[in-house]
């Protein structure tokens, strides 16, 4: 490595410590560069750390609590550095750990019941164990299999999130681990780890324990060994979950998280992480997620008890709000029950649909939609319930929603009374001191109404029901159509480009790709703009000094130009924009710049006025030279032109009229011979234009300063 080369850097502080005769592990841990040296595979350092005594001391920093009056280094820095050394994944150090029974016992002594479990050290313990799972999978699993009490101890500490992450990976419920170690998971078939986790809903009142237990079980439904997946889908396990959830003495968090596990069982993709969906996309893409009939039957047995919790008439708690009161508030448990009903309707189970109709679960959910007009979470789930029923293949569901639930009539009533009713006996009560606010579920009602009309075009039952209701036809014509026109985002101008009107998409990326930009012209314009100094406030000399840069410094390639286009794509709506094919570089200030520069340049011919006129009439792409460059053009290159004219005078077949010569600085000259008088018109162009306009540059003779007078004399003789 560069910093290890002799003579280029000082010796590493770690090597300085290792050079001592008597040094300690604490001295190394106190050095800030120890982690970098470990990652750089410092052989002397690794050979020291791989020793059993050093590995044991590193483990003690991680698993042992220290007194409160200890130094901060011992309490914070040393445990952190020790954990980072293990997670550097140095094979010899990890091998020393997993191959020694005493060191493994010391590591897992952290999860014993009589051991303190601080959040800080729990995180360090979790990182080390997960590192061993990734790099030393087989030895670690063999150790855990030989000590089954470790699984029980981890389940008891499930309320600590770091321990929960260890348990998820230990039972194979992680899509990134054990893809090649399926044989090591066979021993889990004979354990009761899932039952122990589910029993945490009954034995603990901590919401953190309930949430972490549900997270592990949901992870098992997404990715787990076949034995655990079969067990968690069994009716007995589902019955165990509902038994804990429906106990009256249990907190509501048990019900909420138990239903989360059931929802994950019915539709695992709802709670799957993005990484897992990408990992399993080749297997599940395009396929509907269906639950086994036995699993659904086990859930339907407790449906009646769940629906009883949706009754809000007996609740007495009151929640004050900005618009009034909620008597009672909906609560997380009722919201989770409605979500559970919504998922039951998406699995396509005829048994579940008939049971939901029989127990009026759909009707009760729709009633809650109108009783709580400001709970958008509830509105979302109820809308999914209605859409699932209307899009279903069974006529019973459609007729149930239209007739028994009377969704059309309830929408019309809510539209007539668009403000919160003060005479309603529902749970949402407006404040007496304020005017009743407008109900907050109008947007979802509009979506449901549009869905009814859309599905009615292909369903005679829905079409007939809507046409029979004259109030609906009138409301659709006078209210819904106008509302849809107002809410059509494709008709909103709002200062945006008019090209977005009536478009089938609203994507800036697509809009950019639809435009036909001349990237080459843009790159040329940008290069000239930076040469002029338009984008800076520097003086004109600094701006013109940019001519001395190489082409690579000023030229914009196509990729860079497209980046600029994408960030300022709206600029082409204006005439003369940077992004048009027109030459926007023409501006009135050019004459002033020419005059100001030409004032300090000595005239190279008697006809200075004619020379100035030719300079002003030059192309827009020409760039004005600096004062030094103009002097060089008049004294050096001008003599070269005169010498060439003299040589051509002696040769009758030589033509010198309007022949361009270019020097290394991109200066172009035209020599006009009129009545023996030589007239030099100086103009300068950018290096980019020279490289594009001429394929071959003609060489330029370099003439020493002492030969100028002799060349002038020869030129006079030739003209005579």
Please report, for residues 523, 542, 544, 556, 696, the alpha-carbon distance to residue 549 in angstroms, rounded to integers and kept in the order given. Answer: 16, 12, 10, 14, 21
> What pLDDT is stored for residue 439 in this prediction?
92
Give DSSP secondary structure letters for 662-676.
E-TT-EEEEEEEETT
> What pLDDT is stored for residue 184 in this prediction?
61
Give DSSP secondary structure letters for 562-602.
HHHHHHSGGGGGSTT-TTSSS-TT--THHHHHHHHHHTTS-
| 625 DSSP 8-state letter | P
Helices 101-108 and 52-63 pack at an angle, to 10 degrees, of 10
- Give the chain's mean pLDDT: 74
Q: Are the beta carbons of 88 and 38 closer than 8 angstroms?
A: yes
Q: Of all residues in the chain, what percent carry a pLDDT higher than 70? A: 62
Quick check: 431 pLDDT over 50? yes
Quick check: 665 pLDDT over 90? no
Q: Identify the bridge partners of residue 684 per DSSP, sorted by sequence position.
A: 667
Burial 496-529 (b: 16+ CB within 10 A, else e): eeeebeeeeeeeeeebeeeeebebebbbbbbbbb
Q: Which of 159-173, 256-270, 585-599 has the lowest mean pLDDT?
A: 585-599
Tokens of 504: 């089938």
Select from 593, 628, 622, 621 the least CA-distant residue to 681: 622
Measured distance CA(50)–CA(411) in Å, rounded: 73
Measured distance CA(385)–CA(366) in Å, rounded: 9
Residue 139, C-beta contacts closer than 8 angstroms, at least 6 positions apart: 98, 99, 132
Q: Are the beta carbons of 111 and 163 closer than 8 angstroms?
A: yes
Measured distance CA(353)–CA(361) in Å, rounded: 10
Q: Identify the bridge partners of residue 324 per DSSP, sorted by sequence position.
A: 430
More confident: 653 or 162: 162
> What pLDDT is stored for residue 234 in this prediction?
87
Helices 708-719 and 638-650 pack at an angle, to 10 degrees, of 40
What is the CA angle 215-220-223, rounded to 5? 120
Helices 78-87 and 119-135 pack at an angle, to 10 degrees, of 10
> What pLDDT is stored for residue 11 in this prediction?
76
pLDDT (tens digit, 9 = 90+) per residue, 355-413? 999 999 999 999 999 999 999 999 999 999 999 999 988 899 999 999 999 999 999 99
- pLDDT confidence bin for 704, thresholds 50/70/90: very low
Measured distance CA(203)–CA(205) in Å, rounded: 7
> What pLDDT is stored for residue 446 in this prediction?
96
Q: Where are the alpha helices (DSSP H) in 329-428?
A: 331-344, 350-358, 361-371, 376-391, 395-399, 407-416
Tokens of 484: 């849809």
Quick check: 516 pLDDT over 70? no
Tokens of 673: 């011979």
Tokens of 393: 């293949």
For the domain covering 302-493, report its CATH number: 1.25.10
Quick check: 612 pLDDT over 70? no
> What pLDDT is stored for residue 494 in this prediction?
65
Assign 497 to helix, strand or coil: coil
> What pLDDT is stored for residue 94 in this prediction?
96
Q: Are the beta carbons of 55 and 103 closer than 8 angstroms?
A: yes
What is the CA angle 502-508-514, rounded to 5? 75
> What pLDDT is stored for residue 599 in this prediction?
45
Q: Of the segments 85-99, 237-251, 558-572, which one has the largest average pLDDT value?
A: 85-99
Task: Locate the domains of the chain by residue range.
Answer: 12-144, 172-176+190-291, 302-493
Q: Which residue has the tokens 């009138």?
A: 474
Select from 375, 365, 368 the least CA-distant residue to 340: 365
Residue 552: asked if its preceding bond is cis (omega within 30°), the reply is: no
Q: Are the beta carbons of 429 and 404 closer than 8 angstroms?
A: no
Average pLDDT over residues 217-237: 83
Helices 442-456 and 376-391 pack at an angle, to 10 degrees, of 10
Residue 96, C-beta contacts closer than 8 angstroms, at least 6 positions apart: 50, 51, 52, 55, 103
Measured distance CA(21)–CA(18) in Å, rounded: 8
Quick check: 572 pLDDT over 90? no
Residue 417 C-alpha from the chain's centroid:
43
Residue 275's CB: how many other CB atoms inside 10 A?
A: 10
Assign 251 to helix, strand or coil: coil
pLDDT (tens digit, 9 = 90+) per residue, 453-511? 999 999 999 999 999 999 999 999 999 999 999 988 777 766 555 544 444 444 444 44
More confident: 212 or 417: 212
Rg of the chain (C-alpha set):
41
Average pLDDT over residues 98-122: 94
Quick check: 539 pLDDT over 60? no
Measured distance CA(454)–CA(412) in Å, rounded: 18
Measured distance CA(693)–CA(421) in Å, rounded: 79
- pTM (2 d.p.): 0.66
> What pLDDT is stored for residue 530 in this prediction?
54
Select from 82, 104, 97 the least CA-distant residue to 51: 97
Residue 325, C-beta contacts closer than 8 angstroms, at least 6 positions apart: 318, 319, 428, 429, 431
Measured distance CA(125)–CA(62) in Å, rounded: 7
Q: Are the beta carbons of 456 and 462 closer than 8 angstroms?
A: yes
> What pLDDT is stored for residue 719 in this prediction?
58
Measured distance CA(436)–CA(429) in Å, rounded: 9
Q: Are the beta carbons of 218 and 261 closer than 8 angstroms?
A: yes
Measured distance CA(630)–CA(33) in Å, rounded: 58
pLDDT (tens digit, 9 = 90+) per residue, 323-355? 889 999 999 999 999 999 999 999 888 999 999
Average pLDDT over residues 697-718: 47
Residue 150, C-beta contacts closer than 8 angstroms, at least 6 positions apart: 108, 111, 144
């Amino acid at each position: 490595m560069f910093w290890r080369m002799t003579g280029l850097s000082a010796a590493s502080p770690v090597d300085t410590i290792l050079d001592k005769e008597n040094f300690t592990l604490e001295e190394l841990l106190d050095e800030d560069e120890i982690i970098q040296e470990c990652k750089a595979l410092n052989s002397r350092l690794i050979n020291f750390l791989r020793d059993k005594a050093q590995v044991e001391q590193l483990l003690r920093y991680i698993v042992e609590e220290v007194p409160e009056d200890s130094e901060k280094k011992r309490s914070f820095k040393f445990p952190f550095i020790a954990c980072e050394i293990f997670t550097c994944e140095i094979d010899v150090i990890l091998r020393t750990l997993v191959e020694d029974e005493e060191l493994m016992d010391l590591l897992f002594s952290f999860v014993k019941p009589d051991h303190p479990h601080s959040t800080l050290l729990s995180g360090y313990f979790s990182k080390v164990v997960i590192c061993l799972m990734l790099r030393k999978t087989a030895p670690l699993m063999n150790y855990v299999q030989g000590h089954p009490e470790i699984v029980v101890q981890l389940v008891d500490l499930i309320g600590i999130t770091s321990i929960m992450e260890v348990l998820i990976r230990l039972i194979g419920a992680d899509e990134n681990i054990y893809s090649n170690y399926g044989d090591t998971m066979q021993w889990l078939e004979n354990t009761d780890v899932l039952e122990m986790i589910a029993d945490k809903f009954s034995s603990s009142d901590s919401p953190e324990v309930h949430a972490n237990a549900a997270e592990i079980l949901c992870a098992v439904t997404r990715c787990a060994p076949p034995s655990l997946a079969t067990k968690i889908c069994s009716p007995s396990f589902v019955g165990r979950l509902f038994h804990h959830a429906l106990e009256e003495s249990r907190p509501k968090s048990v019900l909420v998280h138990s239903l989360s596990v059931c929802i994950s069982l019915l539709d695992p993709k709802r709670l799957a992480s993005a990484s897992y969906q990408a990992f399993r996309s080749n297997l599940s893409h395009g396929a509907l997620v269906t639950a086994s009939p036995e699993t659904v039957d086990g859930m339907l047995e407790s449906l009646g008890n769940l629906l009883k919790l949706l009754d809000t008439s007996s609740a007495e708690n009151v929640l004050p709000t900005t618009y009034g009161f909620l008597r009672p508030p909906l609560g997380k448990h009722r919201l989770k029950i409605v979500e559970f009903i919504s998922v039951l309707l998406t699995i396509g189970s005829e048994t579940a649909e008939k049971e939901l109709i029989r127990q009026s679960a759909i009707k009760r959910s729709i009633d809650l939609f109108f009783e709580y007009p400001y709970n958008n979470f509830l509105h979302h789930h109820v809308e999914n319930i209605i859409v699932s029923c209307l899009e279903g293949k069974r006529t019973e569901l459609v007729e149930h929603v239209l007739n028994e639930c009377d969704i059309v009539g309830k929408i019309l009533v809510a539209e007539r009374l668009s403000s919160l009713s003060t005479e309603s006996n529902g749970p949402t009560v407006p404040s007496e001191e304020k005017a009743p606010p407008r109900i907050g579920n109008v947007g979802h009602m509009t979506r449901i109404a549009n869905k009814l009309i859309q599905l009615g075009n292909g369903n005679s039952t829905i079409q007939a029901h809507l046409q029979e209701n004259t109030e609906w036809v009138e409301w659709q014509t006078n209210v819904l159509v106008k509302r849809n026109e107002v809410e059509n985002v494709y008709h909103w101008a709002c200062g945006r480009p008019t090209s977005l009107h009536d478009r089938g998409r609203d994507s800036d990326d697509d809009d950019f790709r639809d435009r036909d930009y001349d990237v080459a012209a843009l790159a040329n314009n940008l290069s000239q703009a930076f040469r002029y100094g338009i984008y800076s406030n520097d003086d004109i000399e600094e701006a013109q000094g940019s001519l001395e840069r190489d082409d690579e410094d000023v030229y914009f390639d196509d990729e860079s130009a497209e980046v600029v286009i994408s960030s300022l794509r709206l600029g082409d709506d204006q005439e003369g924009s940077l992004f048009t094919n027109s030459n926007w570089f023409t501006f009135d200030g050019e004459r002033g710049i020419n005059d100001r520069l030409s004032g300090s340049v000595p005239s190279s011919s008697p006809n200075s006025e004619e020379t100035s006129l030719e300079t002003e009439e030059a192309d827009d792409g020409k760039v004005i030279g600096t004062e030094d460059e103009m002097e060089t053009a008049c004294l050096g290159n001008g003599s070269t032109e005169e010498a060439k004219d003299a040589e051509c005078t002696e040769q009758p077949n030589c033509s010198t009229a309007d022949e361009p010569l270019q020097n290394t600085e991109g200066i172009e000259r035209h020599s006009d011979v009129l009545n023996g008088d030589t007239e030099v018109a100086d103009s300068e162009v950018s290096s980019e234009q020279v490289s594009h306009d001429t394929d071959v540059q003609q060489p330029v003779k370099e003439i020493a300063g002492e030969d100028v007078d002799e060349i002038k004399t020869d030129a006079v003789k030739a003209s005579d």
